[in-house]
Structure 1
Amino acid sequence: MKNLSWRLIVIAAVILAAVIYVIPTFRPGIWPHKKINLGLDLQGGMHLVLEVEADKAVENTVERLAQEMRDMLRKEHIRTLAFERVEGIKIAVKVPDETNIASFDDLLDKEFRDVRVADRTVKDGVLDIVLDLPDKEIERIRQLAVAQALETIRNRIDQFGVSEPDIRIQGEQRILVQLPGIKDTQRAKDLIGKTALLEFKLVDETHDVQSALDGNVPASSEILYETKEDPATRRTQKIPFLVKKRTALTGAYLTDARVQIDSQYNEPYVSITFDKKGARLFERITAENVKKRLAIVLDGNVYSAPVIQEKIAGGEARITGSFTTNEARDLAIVLRAGALPAPVQILEERTVGPSLGTDSIRMGLLSMCVGGILVVLFMAVYYKASGLIADFALILNILLIAGGLAIFGATLTLPGIAGIILTIGMAVDANVLIFERIREEMGLGKTPRAAVDAGYDRATLTILDANVTTLIAALVLFQFGTGPVKGFAVTLSLGVVASLFTALVLTRAVFDYVLIHRKIRTISI
């Protein structure tokens, strides 16, 4: 009796916990718990397939390498006749006289050992050399770009507030993004697709902007534009800036980005904070360029170009512009999450409407109800009162699965509903094994209590073997599967655990209660 009492307490506690976690799904706000998350196929949302322009990441790497090499050549006083990038991923250099050539070769051996010599000729005392990256290094950069893009997009979406997004690599350079329940699809696309490369560049005030627009762009400068919108007429105006090509500081040193409200103009702006190294660089740049303009550039667009009035210490700055609150918030999100290592292009876009999600839920629940009712009727007709006990356990089994989904914050998908339907059959299968064993024992003339004890003892090992192997398969599917496969594995795993509990613990407790406490002398089975 003491053993039975403890089992009843455990059963009641498990059922109560499941109810507590399931209630918010049907009556939100009652308990401080999240409701069961529905997948894209059930509640609608957005499906995107993105392609990472990994070759651009290789070009960016070569550009940084070229800039570093220029600085080293200047520092070592090695003279060159020409230094340029060719074909996007190669560096062509012309070095005159033997002394410079020897110094250049020494520099390559010491500082640039990983760079490959694609072509090298010496004619009339002038070295013509073409440098690039080895094939393995290029492949590594491409793979790293896709992996970094995946993590950056995931960080942005997490901060955007989408529950249970599905983000994973598809193929070599593609990323699949599924956002259940998303309403503002355009805002989500802008957030995901923004490269968010933040750069601080000095404005070239020694040359005329109009002359540059006419085609006379200095070799060390480039033309970038600031886009402004007139709030009254809603017309956009592009303001040209002639800025230095060389980036004085990048967003790689950012530690935080927050939306603030300007007390004077009551407009939102983005406040950014640098780490210690970035703060030192920013302080040095502002100290050396007082009364000059510093352009804040994001993805090639000038957001503002304020005049540096004094040295700025403390590692803080602000990005201003004609922002709405949402635009400022999204800009802060992408800056905090970091820049994409390469641009991404949307290859495929599908928006699943709420009507399709409603139809999916209705048909899925209908199939689950029809299957459940048929199983319940079969058990009640074939096993009589014992079948009703199995039916009670089956209903609690579904409740436990729902509670498990809520407790672990898992997502219910259409394949997940299929997993629940499969679990319904598996749950009664365990009871069928037990009931048939009890029938056999009663046919041998044993008392109801002895028959129940023997039936459970003999069937338990078989049930454990069958369910544990199924659970192992489900866990493997969950670990290595994606999308629909993972959704099926989640409910199947929860269903296996719940069916073991209801078949071996709950129904046994019910039988023990009626046989010991109620002293029933016959079993309807």
Structure 2
Amino acid sequence: MLNRYPLWKYVLLTVVFIVGLVYALPNLYGEDPAVQVTGVRGAAASEQTLDQIQSVLKQDNIPAKSVALEEGNILARFANTDVQLHAREALTKALGDKYVVALNLAPATPTWLKLLNAEPMKLGLDLRGGVHFLMEVDMDTALSKLQEQNIDGLRSDLREKNIPYTTINKAANYGLQIQFPNSADRDAAISYLSPRHRDLVISSSGDNVLRAVMTDERLREAREYAVQQNINILRNRVNQLGVAEPLVQRQGSDRIVVELPGIQDTARAKEILGATATLEFRLVNTSVDASAAANGRVPGDSDVKYTRDGQPVVLYKRVILTGDHITDSTSSMDEYNQPQVNISLDSTGGNIMSNFTKDHIGQPMATLFVEYKDSGKKDAKGHAILEKQEQVINVANIQSRLGNSFRITGISNPNEARQLSLLLRAGALIAPIQIVEERTIGPTMGQQNITQGLEACLWGLLASILFMVVFYKKFGLIATSALLANLVLIVGIMSLIPGATLTMPGIAGIVLTLAVAVDANVLINERIKEELRNGRSVQQAIHEGYKGAFSSIVDANVTTLIKVIILYAVGTGSIKGFAITTAIGIGTSMFTAILGTRAIVNLVYGGKRISKLSI
């Protein structure tokens, strides 16, 4: 029989619509302005901290919608941004520097929807607000580190070959100069070193001096590696630290753009991005009294560093190994139920550690935690001056020869061990980064964009509905219901896809697909009217109208989909956002315009004797 659907098709359509509606619902509840309190360097907030926060808020008469301890973090929700900012100021003052107090936006999704894993769409920076950084890689530090490696490498080679030398000094353009006792030793060194170091131009200079400079190709590779590796490390870091939908991409030769939607606190964002955590392993100089060294009497080959308790430790300047060779790190508990970090090294690092420890069994070795942080000062160019902060976190005697794997103990709590292992696993930045531009896009700006986008959708819908109802009457109302269902399904699917982020261009894609959906219904309705004019019966006209329009609708949508795929493949950022919503909209519009409206038409007209259609 013409124009009749079996029951299973109606059930399928109903289930699809209900699922889409359920997963679209969280977007109606919006987000609460919130303040998130986390411990510095991974320290967990406790019930005691929760009580302190509630006491501070009560004392300052700051009303909170809720204050809860969630996975070691405390999240306080507020009615509006003014109260949120007031709470942040009060909590920052009360908690001091042991905690990071960050502004945030927390979804206000009801519990019953959370149980179904229904979450609102992830919004881009232009809609949700957040922070935007333009960061510059400190190439001077990166190349200086490479210069130090060259010095260590040449020094080791000369010692291995027993070629005597007097001094090794740094030279201009990240080169180095080696002074020899005589020209014969210098010439022997040039002959031996030149084939072993193809990336260095080694030549004689002056009396008994060898000069080595890096080739232009090596310098270019080093600069490229510093930027690309920093990008990879920043991506790993923001992903592992739980920042949703970050954008990290290169700009120019030595700059990186980082966008963190949802984070309104630049201090928190800087802590995430600027945490250049790495380790240095150094031998402890036991021949010097630590107290005397702290007062300034330090040998030229040593430095004084301090533990977290402020105790001085004298370390040799020579670094045995750095965090650059760490391939993996995990946190666990040792046999005494104390936190520890398990370190795995690459083959080069394992060889260095093995060769060093076999010659220094019984001597103490220190683990130095190194960070670069913003000092709050600016240089002549207006760039932030980074300050190197160091802390001895562990001193242990070398009991036996170490290899590719070993452990670090002496860490105060399990959360700090987890944070340290996370940062080491994400990688130490190859070179420090300086923030040359920062912008905070507040929730008000994001809300304004959302309001404008919703208004655009609303006016587009109203115009389409008015057109369809005026021209196609009851069939226009059916097409209108399909439009609304189409919008619900787009929002539901966007909320379900983990990597999908809605931006302003994405909203433009939604408006465009709604127009495409109307176009499909126009084709169907016009084809039905044409069949009626040709003398077909009502049931035949409906059947032939949908059948005849199907190929045209598919062709139009497939060609649009091809363009969208190309846009996604070659585009970046907002272009991809537009492509994603448009592609989803094409699929849902075909589903609702063909199957959805046909189901309603069959339900209303199918199997009935109809002499006239309201079209």
Q: Which range, TM-score by smaller chain? A: 0.7 to 0.9
Quick one: distance in 2 between partners of 1:134 and 1:271?
39
Report the CA distance between 1:160 and its aligned residue. 0.8
Corresponding position: 1:316 with 2:397: no
- Deviation per residue, 1:158-203 (Å, 9 max, x gap): 1111222222222222222111222654233122112223110112
Quick one: distance in 1 between partners of 2:505 and 2:304?
50
Which residue is 1:517 aligned to?
607
Which residue is 1:355 aligned to?
444
Equivalences for residues 10-409 of structure 1 within 5 A: 10-26=12-28, 27=110, 28-87=113-172, 89-97=174-182, 99-117=184-202, 120-121=204-205, 123=207, 126=208, 128-182=209-263, 185-206=266-287, 217-218=299-300, 221-226=301-306, 228=308, 239=312, 241-248=314-321, 250=323, 252-258=325-331, 271-275=341-345, 285=356, 288-290=359-361, 292-299=363-370, 301-304=390-393, 306-308=395-397, 310-311=399-400, 315-318=405-408, 320=410, 329-409=418-498
Quick one: distance in 2 between partners of 1:213 and 1:474?
68
Note closer, same or farther for the CA distance 1:431–1:405 as it changes in structure 2 (3 Å cut): same
Residue from 585, 590, 608 that aligns with 1:495: 585
Which residue is 1:234 aligned to?
none
Report the CA distance between 1:146 and its aligned residue. 1.3
Counterpart AA for 2:341: S
Three-state SS of the structure 1 residue aligned to 2:253 is coil
Three-state SS of the structure 2 residue aligned to 1:335 is helix
Once the two structures are overlaid, the 10-residue window that deviates more, 358-367 or 307-316, is: 307-316
Is contact 2:323-2:424 (8 Å) kept?
no
Counterpart AA for 1:295: A
Report the CA distance between 1:354 and its aligned residue. 2.8
Counterpart AA for 2:331: R
Three-state SS of the structure 2 residue aligned to 1:198 is strand
Quick one: distance in 2 between partners of 1:404 and 1:452?
31
Three-state SS of the structure 2 residue aligned to 1:4 is coil
Note closer, same or farther for the CA distance 1:158–1:245 as it changes in structure 2 (3 Å cut): same
User: Which 5+ residue runs of structure 1 have no aligned equivalent?
Assistant: 230-236
The share of aligned pairs that are identical, in percent, is 34
Is contact 1:257-1:335 (8 Å) kept?
no
Is contact 2:243-2:260 (8 Å) kept?
yes
Quick one: distance in 2 between partners of 1:212 and 1:93?
33
Note closer, same or farther for the CA distance 1:425–1:261 as it changes in structure 2 (3 Å cut): farther
Once the two structures are overlaid, the 10-residue window that deviates more, 131-140 or 446-455, is: 446-455
Quick one: distance in 2 between partners of 1:261 and 1:365?
56
| Alignment root-mean-square deviation, CA | 3.3
Three-state SS of the structure 1 residue aligned to 2:114 is coil
Quick one: distance in 1 between partners of 2:392 and 2:607?
79
Is contact 2:293-2:304 (8 Å) kept?
no
TM-score (norm 1): 0.85
Quick one: distance in 1 between partners of 2:558 and 2:242?
37
Note closer, same or farther for the CA distance 1:198–1:450 as it changes in structure 2 (3 Å cut): same
Is contact 1:168-1:176 (8 Å) kept?
yes
Is contact 1:54-1:342 (8 Å) kept?
yes
Report the CA distance between 1:402 and its aligned residue. 1.1
Once the two structures are overlaid, the 10-residue window that deviates more, 387-396 or 76-85, is: 76-85
Quick one: distance in 2 between partners of 1:519 and 1:95?
109
Quick one: distance in 1 between partners of 2:229 and 2:304?
27
Is contact 2:205-2:211 (8 Å) kept?
no
Note closer, same or farther for the CA distance 1:249–1:155 as it changes in structure 2 (3 Å cut): closer
Is contact 1:296-1:319 (8 Å) kept?
no
Report the CA distance between 1:463 and its aligned residue. 2.6
Quick one: distance in 2 between partners of 1:77 and 1:341?
33
Quick one: distance in 1 between partners of 2:332 and 2:134?
30
TM-score (norm 2): 0.74
Three-state SS of the structure 1 residue aligned to 2:562 is helix
Is contact 1:514-1:520 (8 Å) kept?
no
- Deviation per residue, 1:25-83 (Å, 9 max, x gap): 45442403443212222222222221122343233223212211211110011122332
Equivalences for residues 440-479 of structure 1 within 5 A: 440-479=530-569
User: Which 5+ residue runs of structure 2 have no aligned equivalent?
Assistant: 29-109, 371-387
Is contact 1:49-1:346 (8 Å) kept?
yes
Number of residue pairs the alignment of both structures matches: 508
Quick one: distance in 2 between partners of 1:348 and 1:222?
38
Quick one: distance in 2 between partners of 1:288 and 1:120?
35
Which residue is 1:232 aligned to?
none
Which residue is 1:508 aligned to?
598
Is contact 1:227-1:302 (8 Å) kept?
yes
Quick one: distance in 2 between partners of 1:450 and 1:486?
43
Quick one: distance in 1 between partners of 2:161 and 2:234?
41
Note closer, same or farther for the CA distance 1:112–1:212 as it changes in structure 2 (3 Å cut): farther
Three-state SS of the structure 1 residue aligned to 2:485 is helix
Counterpart AA for 1:353: G
Report the CA distance between 1:260 and its aligned residue. 6.0
Is contact 1:252-1:338 (8 Å) kept?
no
Note closer, same or farther for the CA distance 1:398–1:206 as it changes in structure 2 (3 Å cut): same
Counterpart AA for 1:467: N
Quick one: distance in 1 between partners of 2:515 and 2:164?
80
Quick one: distance in 2 between partners of 1:271 and 1:324?
11
Three-state SS of the structure 2 residue aligned to 1:306 is strand
Once the two structures are overlaid, the 10-residue window that deviates more, 44-53 or 87-96, is: 87-96
Quick one: distance in 2 between partners of 1:509 and 1:411?
32
Quick one: distance in 1 between partners of 2:146 and 2:266?
32
Quick one: distance in 1 between partners of 2:415 and 2:259?
22
